[in-house]
Amino acid sequence: MAVGLSSQFLESLLTPGRLALLWVLFVVVSFIVDIARLPRCPESLPRVGSGRGIIASVKNWVLYVSRYNDWIADGYEKYNKQGRAFVAPSSPSRPLEIVVPRSQTAWMLEQPDRVLSTKEAHRDSLFNDYQFGVDDQFPIRTIHKHLARNIVSLLPGIQEEVHAAIDDVFGTDTENWKTLNIWDSLIGIISRVTNRMLVGEPLCHNEEFLKNQVAFADAVVRNGLIMGLFPKVFHPFIGPLVTITNRRAWRKTYEIGKPIIEQRLRDLERKESSPDLQVPEDMLTWLIRQAKAEGAADELDPVMLSKRLLPVEFAAIHTTVLTAQNILLDLASSDPSLGYIDAIRKETSEVFKEEKGTWTKDGLASLHATDSAIKESMRFSYFARGLTHRKVIAPEGVTNPTEGWHAPEGSFLMLDLAGVHHDPETFPEPGKYDAFRFLKIREQLDPKNPEEAMKIKRLGMVTTSPEHLTFSHGRHACPGRFFVAHELKMILAYLLNNYDIKHIEKRPVPDWAGATVIPPIKATIEVKRRKAAESL
């Protein structure tokens, strides 16, 4: 009888409406707890968004997805340009961001890693613990040590892959125009080319392997946006759930790649006693060498090696596709009378003939017009509001010497890439895509003058600066940017010399979801293979 009364009491108490109310209260309390745990930003700094306090914070979270880009742009004009930092709203799971002005770039980037951490900023921004299952520091060290010293030997294979991939995707019909989805086409090309460097043949030609590497990268972007909308108390539940797609994609790539990884491990073991044995020079080989050099036996497990490739696959594929899509859209939508495509075609064709049909590091470095067109697209068509972030990890926090504000442990600092790149005080007519903006500057300088020679050197797309932040800046600038530069130049050279591209009347523009760009993935382009006499 007592049990029956208890059941009736619970049924009357836990009605669907009351359960829904309890859930809403739990969510609200979770957000309040999240706010209470976040580090306090300096009160002396101005803010953009809806202001201060819990109500303002909730309002900012609601508006974050649609208004973030506008908030940062507003703060740049009002405060950064006057040399002041400002505080910007962030997603529910992250602290407010302190946007540091360009005039204080050196101070921010010169702070030691024990004070301002790039690693921890990336870890929090991408939710590494859930998305990758491993940190990105081991592959980053590997790239720093091995990529630059092997870049020359990689070029012939990269060239071969670029030419074959473009032929396969764009076709060889010289009579009829072909309409292609730009995003899908570039994913097909760049995933192959990137994996030629990462895992070599035959994996870079395995469509199932490539499809799942791309699926993993897609999942990282999508899941990062989803997790950012939940307070941290939800992450232990939401994280494993939404990243099922990550694990599924990785598992498929591992099953395909496992025999190759195991064979590579055996080959490198044999090479120690047989130095003449030829082993491919790619990221997989470098990871194994790095593990042996560091005495890290656990890094030599095939599962771990496969997972170590994931952060590099993510970083290398999507950002390069975004950049390449922007370049094609910027060139194809420019006034044809400006002659951008013709000039790039002429430069690359002439240098390629001088190279006798095989690209070299020096030959690619001499493509000044092509380099300028790519760098200008990076400036004009940004795909992230900011790419330079730091997290305060020093227990005592950090104090800004210029303005005197203090950021406690856990705070986030960032540089506004888009504001700098579109500042008319730095780049005249910043809202205009001028493919040869940097080439014109180069032509006005004297390479024999030591001071002007240094200015010329800084004009290249791989040279970062407080005004060129696409690859970030400072000692943590993108270590793979030299490979990306060679890759993009080869793609642009082969594409423009072997295909005609129809002019696009109106350039498609991206959308934004918070700090994440949503590229125009439905944008198309019309191409036709040029006849052999016109081709590269």
Which residues make up each annotated binding site? 478
Q: How far is CA 233 from CA 53, 237, 240, 388, 493, in A?
A: 20, 8, 13, 27, 50
How crowded is the C-beta side of 103, counted as CA atoms within 13 Å? Answer: 12
In the DSSP assignment, the letter for residue 495 is H
Position 29, amino acid: V
Q: Which helix (H) or strand (E) holds 173?
A: none
| 278, 280, 281, 282 alpha-carbon torsion, rounded to 10° | -160
DSSP-based three-state secondary structure for 334: coil
Name the CA radius of gyration of the chain, rounded. Answer: 25
Which parts are annotated binding residues for heme? 478
In the DSSP assignment, the letter for residue 40 is P
Tokens of 394: 């020093």
Q: Which helix (H) or strand (E) holds 487?
A: helix 481-498
| 240, 243, 249, 255 alpha-carbon torsion, rounded to 10° | -20
- The string of DSSP letters for 5-43 reads HHHHHHHHHS-HHHHHHHHHHHHHHHHHHHHHHSPPPPT
DSSP-based three-state secondary structure for 249: helix
How far is Cα 407 from Cα 533, in angstroms, rounded to an integer?
A: 63
Cβ atoms of residues 104 and 85 within 8 Å: yes
User: What's the order of all strands across the beta sheet hosting 412-415?
Assistant: 86-88, 97-100, 412-415, 388-392, 116-117
* Burial bucket for residue 355 (CB in 10 Å: 0-12, 13-18, 19+): middle
How far is Cα 183 from Cα 442, in angstroms, rounded to an integer?
A: 32
